[in-house]
């Protein structure tokens, strides 16, 4: 599990969507959990992209072996990439295999244009060429290489983001979450352990209850929380506060009021980070100031 921040993000997104297009609460909650589930689909889709790169590399080697006029590299191909220990563990992961088997649309076709172009960019790059020249095999080096490869050619690839957004609209907003899940998965792998369990967005019923309750508390107390916000504005009108800032603050206040066991500083820090994702550049400073003042007024520890 990634932690509660990603669940808080989905609650914030859901509240924001509600004030753009109000629907019944049960529909809203159902849509929120469906959105959370779609992040797992995206996560598997990205892992499958890494495995697809390995499959494509193997295919290229087979093409070279079957050439009529072979070069030395065709006869003795460099197999360091296809034998990368991290890629092998991801390829063999039973949870990935099972889920992909159940959802075949998450499997990448070897001839997919984006997969082929990304592979070509990778193999033309200095990092890949230096990696392939290195002698010997080290799990740590394999892990570091795949981590950097994922960051450079997938997580930071605008073409990849656009492709995902066209495929599933919600993925464009959630790709940063799936990126973190993939990066953590790569980092969690160990040389002497099987790769068996992947990361879940919702770990258990406690997480699900937290998400539902936070959503309900935020919506039920919206007007009251707006009033609390307005009372703490200095030289600023409530009407001038953006909807997204209101949503983030109202959700944070709802959590501060209704989840007493979570320290206030933890909650404030979480919503500051959420503001960095969804709001303007200065929103995190504004949100920090309001929430800090609210906690002091309430003697909230």
Mean of pLDDT values over 71-85:
87
Q: Mean pLDDT across the chain, nearest whole number?
A: 93
* pLDDT tens digits for range 157-201: 999 999 999 999 889 889 999 999 999 999 999 999 988 889 988
> Cβ of 164: how many Cβ atoms within 10 Å?
21
Q: State how many domains the chain has.
A: 2
* Same domain, yes or no: 184 and 209: no
8 Å CB contact between 201 and 36: yes
Residue 94, pLDDT above cutoff 90? yes
Q: Are residues 84 and 53 in the same domain?
A: yes
What single-letter DSSP state applies at residue 116?
A: H
pTM: 0.90
What pLDDT is attached to residue 282? 87
**Do 86 and 142 form a contact (C-beta atoms < 8 A)?**
yes
Question: Comparing C-alpha atoms, which of 168, 60, 150, 161 is closest to residue 105?
Answer: 168
Give the span between the Cα atoms of 56 and 36, in whole angstroms: 31
Q: How far apart are CA 141 and CA 294, in angstroms?
A: 48
Is 181 a domain residue?
Answer: yes
- Whole-angstrom distance, CA of residue 94 vs CA of residue 117: 28
Residues 77 and 36 in one domain: yes
Could you tell me if 269 and 157 lie in one domain?
A: no
- Looking at residue 220, what is its pLDDT? 97
- Domain hosting 92: range is 21-188
Helix axes 243-258, 205-220, angle to 10 degrees: 120
- Percentage with pLDDT > 90 across the chain: 81
Shared domain check, 178 and 209: no
Determine the pLDDT at residue 3.
73
Give the whole-angstrom CA distance, residue 92 versus residue 85: 11
Same structural domain for residues 38 and 137? yes
């Amino acid at each position: 599990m990634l932690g509660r921040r990603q669940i808080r993000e989905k609650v914030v997104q859901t509240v924001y969507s509600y004030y753009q297009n109000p629907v019944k609460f049960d529909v809203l909650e159902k849509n929120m959990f469906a959105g959370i589930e779609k992040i797992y689909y995206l996560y598997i889709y990205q892992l499958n992209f890494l495995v697809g790169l390995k499959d494509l590399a193997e295919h290229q080697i087979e093409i070279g072996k079957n050439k009529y006029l072979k070069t030395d590299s065709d006869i003795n191909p460099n197999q360091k990439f296809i034998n990368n220990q991290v890629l092998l563990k991801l390829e063999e992961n039973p949870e990935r295999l099972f889920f992909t088997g159940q959802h075949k649309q998450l499997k990448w076709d070897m001839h997919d244009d984006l997969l082929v172009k990304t592979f070509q960019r990778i193999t033309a790059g200095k990092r890949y060429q230096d990696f392939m020249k290195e002698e010997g095999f080290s799990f740590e080096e394999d892990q570091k290489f795949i981590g950097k490869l994922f960051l450079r050619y997938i997580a930071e690839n605008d073409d990849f983001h656009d492709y995902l957004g066209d495929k599933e609209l919600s993925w464009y907003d959630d790709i940063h979450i799936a990126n973190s899940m993939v990066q953590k998965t790569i980092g969690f792998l160990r040389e002497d352990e099987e790769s068996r369990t992947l990361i879940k967005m919702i770990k258990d019923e406690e997480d699900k209850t937290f998400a539902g309750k936070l959503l309900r508390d935020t919506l039920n107390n919206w007007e009251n929380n707006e009033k609390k916000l307005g009372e703490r504005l200095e030289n600023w009108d409530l009407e001038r506060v953006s909807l997204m800032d209101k949503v983030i603050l109202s959700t944070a206040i709802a959590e501060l009021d209704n989840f007493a066991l979570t320290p206030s500083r933890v909650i404030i820090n979480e919503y500051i980070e959420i503001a960095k994702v969804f709001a303007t550049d200065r929103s995190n400073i504004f949100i920090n100031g309001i929430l800090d003042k609210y906690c002091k007024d309430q003697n909230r520890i």
